[in-house]
Structure 1
């Protein structure tokens, strides 16, 4: 149980076996409810959904939040693929294994948001709606001012750092603590950082989490099994979609996100679902009920 979870909001843990990896998932809500799959990003874990998960469960959803491939207690993928296309396939696999239907929705933050946007753009996606946080559709982030782009280039230094061999693995604890402090200034992230460091305790898991960035820089290396998913990995959803963004996000410039159609949440940084859980919960439940 997470330290701040009461018995009423504590999740159960379920295992979802997929062709190349078994995902360990947190779950809330009635087993026969419509499926809501919640995907975390970096550097984070499924515990990032400890507020939104119980709220959606109270609204009748069967909420499933995987620790995505490479993050313990989920496995390191046997095929070694860490492209967004593989994350898309995993999200579809969760839907299939758990018997999701046409009501299913996908919610994602950071890398989870990229995955949700990509699936929202793919005609074979089983998800009827998507909600994304902290990363709006990649193709929508155009037309920003030179000043915004220059600032974003400085903010995105870590994407280049994570391309280096070995050094990011050796300094992952320092990197995780720094990013939480800079991306969500003022938020007490001790519990969340502890979850991340536990998920990345083993070298193979560390390399897998950092491998998301390395794979993104090598789109030509996607496994053939995921190439059809890969074609929309930078796409804009064609299903109903809601994009949310912290107005004080230190990871992706809020002005760029707003121009891309995101709703800004005041008083929140990058991890808005933790910093402003009531406001984010209201926006998400209103959207899903509309």
Structure 2
């Protein structure tokens, strides 16, 4: 992918993105790959060439608030706003109904929201690490093990997080990657992640996703319908992938999601992989995705 470029989204926020060299070839369908926390679009480096070989033109945005994307002027970093950023990318890049959505971590509910907001824009949906539907929120009530895994989400509600997370060159981010994907060497990935989060205003925006989700901070009433869509199961053919050793969201949450999903959703558990499964087992994950999309 070349250097980052940008569009102005629905609310004027500048959304930067990486794109394949074929991005101008409108004969190719669009594939939008959306990262989560703490991550950057650089971690799609294994999947991107596989999608290009399949005939897609690939775009991978930096989530709003993640540098070099702008921090929204009104502080709105809820998932619904990011879902509408994907819709804006579809518009600006002349996407059509063949377009596909692929999301990991926060990027997963963001893609579900975009799919629900305007279903006709998309043909298929792929989610990873956060299952579709309200399975995670259900697990907070029914699964104490998952509640313990999700401690960081509650810690981020406290102002102390604004001091702890950036300390010692964002050592908190190193810890998160080690805990969520134990044994994976993230030396290639962490510089890009930290560059996106190093400035206080950008780190504050990244934490803001959690403060909006759990604390209702900065939620816009006019985005309520799209926000609800981020916890819905897409009506499109959907592939969901989860690492069996995920240290962030346990496999029990996937079991809950299976009971809530319709027949259009296919679940695949990837062995010997954890939270960042597309980096840990790229050959397996890429094969599942390309087979599904083709």
**TM-score, normalised with respect to structure 1:** 0.89
Using the TM superposition, name which of 158-167 and 279-288 deviates more.
158-167
> What does residue range 243-282 of structure 1 map to in structure 2 within 5 Å?
243-261=240-258, 262-282=267-287
Q: Give the match's secondary structure for 1:71.
A: coil
Structure 2 gap segments, 5+ residues each: 259-266
1:23 aligns with 2:23: no
Residues 51-83 of structure 1 deviation map (CA, whole Å, 9 limit, x = unaligned) = 111110111101000011011111111231011
SS of structure 1 residue aligned to 2:31: strand
Are positions 1:185 and 2:176 aligned together?
Answer: no
Pairwise CA RMSD of aligned residues? 2.1
SS at the partner of 2:55?
coil
Match of 1:159 among 153, 161, 169: 153
1:71 to 48, 66, 69: 66
| 2:116–2:226 contact (8 Å) kept in structure 1 | no
**Distance in 2 of aligned mates of 1:54 and 1:275:** 17
Q: Do the aligned residues in 2 keep the contact of 1:29 with 1:60 (CA within 8 Å)?
A: no
Distance 1:267 1:49 in 2: 19
Q: Distance in 1 between matches of 2:93 and 2:254?
A: 33
> C-alpha separation between the residues in 1 aligned to 2:217 and 2:121?
26
Does the 8 Å CA contact 2:7/2:89 hold for their aligned counterparts? yes
1:197 aligns with 2:189: no
CA drift of 1:186 comes to 0.6
Give unmatched runs, 5+ long, in structure 1. Answer: 1-9
Q: Contact 2:84/2:114 (CA < 8 Å) preserved in 1? A: no
How many corresponding residue pairs? 279
Distance 1:59 1:234, change over 3 A: same
Q: Distance in 2 between matches of 1:221 and 1:145?
A: 22
User: Who is 1:207 aligned against?
Assistant: 204
Tell me, yes or no, if structure 1 residue 233 matches structure 2 residue 230: yes
Query: Contact (CA 8 Å) 1:136, 1:257: kept in 2 or not?
Result: yes
Matches within 5 A, 1:70-89: 70-89=65-84
| Aligned residue number for residue 49 of structure 2 | 54
Residues 198-253 of structure 1: CA deviation (Å, up to 9, x unaligned): 11111100100011000112448422442331232311111110000001100000
Quote the Cα distance in structure 2 between the aligned partners of 1:82 and 1:142.
19
Name the CA distance, whole Å, in 2 between partners of 1:166 and 1:145. Answer: 23
* Structure 1 range deviating more: 11-20 or 179-188: 11-20
- Greater shift in the superposed pair: 269-278 or 188-197: 188-197
Q: Tell me, what secondary structure is at the counterpart of 2:77?
A: coil
In the alignment, the residues of structure 2 paired with residue 170 and residue 125 of structure 1 have an alpha-carbon distance, to the nearest angstrom, of 43
Equivalent position of 1:286 in the other structure: 291
**Distance in 1 between residues matched to 2:89 and 2:118, nearest whole Å:** 17
TM-score (norm 2): 0.88
- SS of the counterpart of 1:121? helix
User: How many Å separate the matches in 2 of 1:38 and 1:115?
Assistant: 11
Structure 2 CA distance, aligned partners of 1:264 and 1:120? Answer: 23
Check 1:89–1:267 CA distance in 2 against 1; reply closer, same or farther (3 A cut).
same
Equivalents in 2 of 1:243, 1:107: separation in Å?
A: 10
Shift of 1:170: 3.9
Q: What SS is found at the alignment partner of 2:86?
A: helix
* Structure 1 range deviating more: 46-55 or 15-24: 15-24
